[in-house]
Amino acid sequence: MSEILLYDFELDENCYKVRLMLSMLGLGYRKIAVNMFPGREHLQPSLLELNPRGSLPILTDGEVALCEAESILAYLVRAYDGGGQWLPGEPKHFGLVASWLQFASRELHAAWMLRRHAVLDEPADATALCAVVRRAFRLMEDHMTARGFDNAEWFVGDGPSLAEIALFPAIALSRDFGVDHEAYPALRRWMRRVRSIPGFLTMPGIPDYY
């Protein structure tokens, strides 16, 4: 088996998604620390050769080189999740998981930007971003509230999927940018369940309890 390499910045929530998935799959890998802020090492020629978009995370697995967290998550479960737990093959649930992956990379991108503004002093319109983030969190909260009426505990199906991995960091880290969890009781219960998944690991900024 080829060695999996993860080019990683410890404080980046997208890198955290990949670390979390690797841990839950029980996969060994070698982490290569990249000084994204303030060093901006992700823009060095050697990393731009792997990922011309100039972003992290980057994962290599033999001849495979991938960037963008959601793409990496999908690759890892297709390559290493033999039981098909994380990305269901049934068409309806597959489509729903794919929809939440898109939501994570699009609607929740504002959370990524807002947290960088708060933690790393990146320039941003914090007021506008906060409105977008709260709207996205409300959609997630309403979804899980409705799921609760059907005694369902996860975003899609009967068990944790890639939706959990893709969505968890934005809300779990939201206190970094001033959005508390009190307004989202269904998401707080869901976050406790995510913590119970074997292989769960945390990162700086995620509170111990909800």
Handedness of CA 96, 101, 102, 108 (dihedral sign): positive
Integer CA distances (angstroms), 80 to 21, 72, 84, 97, in order: 11, 12, 9, 18
Of the candidates 55, 129, 137, 146, the one whose C-alpha atom is nearest the C-alpha of residue 103 is 137
The owner of tokens 């979804």 is 143
Q: Name the CA radius of gyration of the chain, rounded.
A: 17
List the chain pLDDT tens, one digit each, 210 residues.
689 999 999 999 999 999 999 999 999 999 999 998 888 899 999 999 999 999 999 999 999 999 999 999 999 999 999 888 999 999 999 999 999 999 999 999 999 999 999 999 999 999 999 999 999 999 999 999 999 999 999 999 999 999 999 999 999 999 999 999 999 999 999 999 999 999 999 999 998 876
pTM for this one?
0.95
Q: Which domains does the chain have, with CATH numbers?
A: 4-80 (3.40.30.10), 91-195 (1.20.1050.10)
The answer to whether residues 136 and 177 touch, using CB atoms and an 8 Å cutoff, is no
